[in-house]
A = this chain, B = another copy of it.
Amino acid sequence: MIEDKNQQRTALENLGEFGLIKHLTKNFGLNQSSSIVGIGDDAAVLDFKDKKTIVTTDMLVEGVHFDLSYMPLKHLGYKAVIVNLSDIYAMNAMATQITVSIAVSNRFPIEALEEFYEGVAMACQMYKVDLVGGDTTSSTKGMLISITALGIAEENEIVYRKGTKPNDLLVVTGDLGGAYLGLQVLEREKEVFKVNPNNQPDLEPYSYVVERQLKPEARMDIVELLEKLEVKPTAMIDISDGLSSEILHLCEQSGVGCNLFEDKIPLDPTVISAAEEFKMDSTMIALSGGEDYELLLTIDQSDFPKIKGNPNLTVIGHMAMKEEGAHLITRGDTKIPLSAQGWNSFSS
């Protein structure tokens, strides 16, 4: 939230569109064996040999999905990639390439875009994916990012949303609710900053939840872990919109019901304390908060011994017959129908 007034600013029109793309992507090499030709021609050329190609795309809009007043551009570049990779891992596939397109208004100096691409480069390095294409154009207002991610998988490895059956165990990775509470902390500090710009916020007690919001990770490690454990989920989805909405997707696409146990939902202690501070219910946050980019999967009961005790995987419920519906079993043993509070960017 502290702006360096002395930063160097180079106007975008100085480079021109081709010069800009070249400049921003000059340090990106190709490391994947499937990347034959990257940026610089009409299109990239990839070679997935006999594996299946996985494709997903996501758009992020300033003022809708992110706020540059507390989201550093480097973090934004990183997160924009993560959001897409997460969808590839949710197919039990490995991500291999991305294309990154951005539209920015003239108020962005080249140095700002360089920062953004630094974040993209960090994510590429961390997740071993190659940047192979993209577009850079001007917008009439704000910044807009569109990323497409590609991945590979053997046909028999791919896991869909469809495929879970009654009595399969419902499993979640990591813990939930942190990203949403991080956003609350940042929004609160933004309001404080508006009133008193000299106030230096102490974000230390909230570092976990703030990091979950500003620098989430995608669970590539889970795809590797599942392979090692020799567990193939019967269904999988990534948690971008909140647990309840994702569970309902699995139920709808697999034609099943579900029982989710409130007391099993993994919450970090920081999430519990921050939720109390914000007078919010931590279960509600886990159910509807979103942006945690954990994976939600179902496994056959016979696979339970393989995952039992693994700190990355928590059983939070089980699937049921479709007619039973999808419910949350509360700590007080009340059965509440799950409803999709899935985030709708169009509602005002």
Contact = CB atoms under 8 A, between A and B. Distances in A.
Interface string A98-138: 01011100100000000000000000000000001111011
A59 interface: yes
A124 to B, nearest CB: 16
B238 A42 contact: yes
Interface string A138-150: 1111101010111
A180 to B, nearest CB: 17
A148 B146 CA distance: 10
B345 A138 contact: yes
Given A17-B346, A87-B43, A342-B18, A58 B161 contact: no
Contacts of A345: 17, 137-138
A48 B54 CA distance: 11
A3 interface: no
A65 B137 contact: yes
A46 B161 CA distance: 16
Nearest to A12: B346
Contact of A52 (B47, B133, B134, B150): B47
Interface in A3-21: 12-13, 16-18, 20
A68 interface: no
Copies in the assembly, this chain: 2
Contacts of A99: 55-57, 148
A90 B13 contact: no
A304 B190 CA distance: 67
Contacts of A144: 59, 61, 103, 139, 144
Interface of A: 12-13, 16-18, 20, 36-37, 40-50, 52-59, 61-65, 87-88, 90-91, 93, 97, 99, 101-103, 106, 132-135, 137-142, 144, 146, 148-151, 153, 155, 158, 160-162, 236-238, 253, 342-348
